[in-house]
Homo-oligomer: A and B are copies of this chain.
Amino acid sequence: MSSDLKENFAFRPGRRTARPGTQPPAPRSAGDADGSVPSRTANRPGPTALAAKVRTMAPSMTRSMQRVAEAVAHDPAGCAQLTVTGLAERTGTSEATVVRTSRLLGYPGYRDLRLALAGLAAQQESGAAPAVTADIVVDDPIADVVAKLALDEQQTLADTAAALDVAQVEAAVAAMAAARRVDVYGVGASGLVSQDLAQKLLRIGMVAHSHVDPHLAVTNAVQMRAGDVALAITHSGRTVDVIEPLRVAFDQGATTIAITGRPDGEVAQYADHVLTTSTARESELRPAAMSSRTSQLLVVDCLFIGVAQRTYETAAPALSASYEALAHRHSPRQRTR
């Protein structure tokens, strides 16, 4: 009789009280420092099952409970924000009813239902979030711009990494690591990349120079000879200001490397090793320079790391030395890491 019903409704009376060392089975409770809090893994329904559960159980619920269940099923995200009191008010019921509903849905109490609710909301949101792949347009809100740019650049990176010819990188790295000096040519946006590379190579004790001025670049290229490395960076592959010095260095017998988006471009003719960069589609607001830069930087970073690996003996101390040298350029007081 009443015992029958009681079992149905009042399951596990003392379930939440942690004290009486009830159920020890804890699959992955490794980190339970001192075991004072038994980890409750439980067979509680996951967030996915929650919606279904609500529909299944709804008929067998009392009116007030149904209101709670409905609110929960209808707006998991919103309800997850509410305390037990809040949800009670929203549904025009009492805290006790909310807890009873939670129990009926298979959770030890409202706290756990709320957790599952948050999970459900997150799942729904992630599932509903369609990847923004469209072009950036004039009236995009900033949030979209950020998301689109980030995705585009990620795509560019993935493409570049996939398309990069490892053998060419290997050869380029070997040449650079062994080089007496490394000269890098680049103008415009690529000029910054060339400076970035030169900066980093300098940091590990190599003799590297970035030439942005085309005249000086040619002037210097004349000095190059076997054992030196000349590296040209041009997205279009046909920037004369960059091709020219590379050609000169090439003629002088230096080892030449080209980083370009067009491996069939003119620059490749004078390059011993060609490293191909990938580019995202460009749009009116997003000049090609932007994604080519991302791509170029990745290639340049790979070269740098490669060279650093091969010259580790000298690179490592040089790196830390350059760090220390900069220390006094920082303001002193700052909390410890």
The residues of A with any CB-CB pair to B shorter than 8 Å are 28, 31-41, 46-48, 59-60, 62-63, 71, 75, 77-78, 80-83, 85-87, 89-90, 92, 114-116, 118-123, 125-127, 136, 138-140, 142-143, 145-147, 149-150, 153-154, 157-158, 160-161, 164, 166, 169-170, 173, 187-189, 192, 195-196, 199-200, 203, 236-241, 243, 262, 265-266, 284-287, 289-290, 293-294, 297-298, 301-302, 305-306, 308-309, 312, 316, 319, 323, 326, 329-331, 334-337
Contact = CB atoms under 8 A, between A and B. Distances in A.
Contact of A81 (B32, B188, B286, B293): B32
Contacts of A312: 138
A56 to B, nearest CB: 14
Given A28-B78, A81-B41, A192-B196, A335 B89 contact: no
Given A192-B192, A285-B308, A337-B59, A35 B86 contact: yes
A73 B29 CA distance: 17
Contacts of A309: 138-140, 145, 285
A308 B119 CA distance: 39
A118 B237 CA distance: 35
Q: Is the interface of A mostly helix, strand, loop or mixed?
A: helix
